[in-house]
Amino acid sequence: MRSIFKRYVVRVITVLTLIGGATSCTDKGEVNKVIRLAHGLDINHPVHLALKHFQAELLELSAGQLNVQIFPAGQLGTEREIIELIQFGTLGMTKVSASSLEAFVPKMKVFGLPYLFTDQEHYWQILNGPIGESLLAEGERFRIKGLGYFDAGSRSFYATSAKVEAPNDLAGLKIRVMNSQSAVNMVNTMGGAATPVSWGELYTALQQGVVDGAENNPPSFFYSKHYEVSQYYVLDEHTSIPDVIIIGTHLWQQLNAAQKSWVQQAMKSATEFQRQLWQESTEMALREVKKHGVNVIIPDKAPFRASVKKLYQDITNPEISSLVTAIQREVVAK
C-alpha cells in the first residue's frame, strides 16, 4: 500500500511540474485563471478539436479572464489516472468515457448495456433530458461535476483475421475491452473472451496476437490506425456510450457565478460543434478504412440483440433497473 501511495505522490508531483501554476497575469496586473484540461486522444480527433473550440469560446466569453490549457494524447496519464488527479484537485477538467466513470459514478454503468437506445434520436433525447442531466450531477458526490456530453458514436467489433458477422463468430476470440465490468460482461455474454487492455497498448496487442480483435467507434478505429492490423470491421453498433466532460468540484467551487455561466455557455457551444464534427469524422473514417482494404460488414443486428437479453434479465441493482425502465419509457413517450 505504501509503495502505491508513493507512486501516486510521485505522479502528482510530476504532473504539477508539467502544468505549472493555475493563474496568469495580464499586462494590467489582473489575475486570470487557467483551467488545465487533459485527455487521451490525438490532436486530429473530433474531441480535441471540440475542446479547442471550447477553449476559444471561453476565452472570448470571459474577455480573457478564463483560459484553458489542453494536454492531449495521454500526456498526463490514462483516463482513470486523470480522473483521480481531478478529484485530488491537481487538474481541472477532462473528457472521459462514461465507461471509465463507472468506477467513480456507479450509475454510469447503464450506458454499458448493449442496444439500450432504439436510435440516435432516442439517444440524444435521453442525454439532453432530465435523465442525462441527473447523471451529470451524480458525480458531484465524488468530487467531479459533469458539464456535458460529447458524441462517441456507436461501438462495433473489429478483428485482425476472423470475419465476425454474428455473435457465434466471436467464440474463441480474445476481444479487447475497456477496463469496464459492463464491457467484459457484454463480450463474454456474446460468446467472446473479454480481455481488458489499455488503449495505448492495443495496437501492439493486435499486431502480436495478444488479442484477436477489439471494439470501438469508426473515428477511433481510424485515428488509432488499428485498421493497419485489423482486416474486418463489423458495424453491429452494440453500445452507444457517450463521452462526458467533467470538471473537478474543487475548481468549480472556486468560480464565481459569472465564470460558471461562461464555462457552461462555452461547453454548450462545444457540444453542438462536436456533434457536427463527429458525424463528418465517422463518414470520413469509414471511407478511409475501406480504401486501406478493411472489409466493412453491415450485419443483421437481430442475433446480436438476442444474444445480450440475459444482461437485462441479470440486472440486480435497483438503481440501474430503474434507469433502464425510465430510458425505455422515453421511447413510448415520444
The confidence score (pLDDT) of residue 334 equals 54
Write down the pLDDT at residue 15.
Answer: 53
Segments of the chain assigned E as strands: 23-25, 31-38, 66-71, 93-97, 144-150, 155-159, 174-177, 193-196, 213-216, 232-239, 243-248, 295-297
- Which residues lie below 8 Å from residue 85, measured CB to CB, with a gap of 6+? 11, 12, 15, 38, 76, 77, 91
Question: What is the pTM (predicted TM-score) of this model?
Answer: 0.86
Percent helix, strand, coil in the chain (nearest 5)?
50, 20, 30
Return the number of other C-beta atoms located less than 10 Å from residue 46's C-beta: 27
- 297 three-class SS: strand
pLDDT of residue 6: 45
One fold for both 2-151+242-283 and 155-240+284-333?
Answer: yes
pLDDT of residue 1: 45
Mean pLDDT by 10 residues, the chain (334 residues): 45 51 48 90 92 98 97 92 95 94 92 95 96 96 97 97 97 94 94 94 98 96 96 98 97 97 98 96 97 98 97 96 95 61
Architecture of domain 155-240+284-333: 3-Layer(aba) Sandwich (3.40)
CB 290 within 8 A of CB 156: no
CATH topology for the 2-151+242-283 domain? D-Maltodextrin-Binding Protein; domain 2 (3.40.190)
- Tell me, what's the pLDDT at 333? 55
Domain ranges of the chain: 2-151+242-283, 155-240+284-333
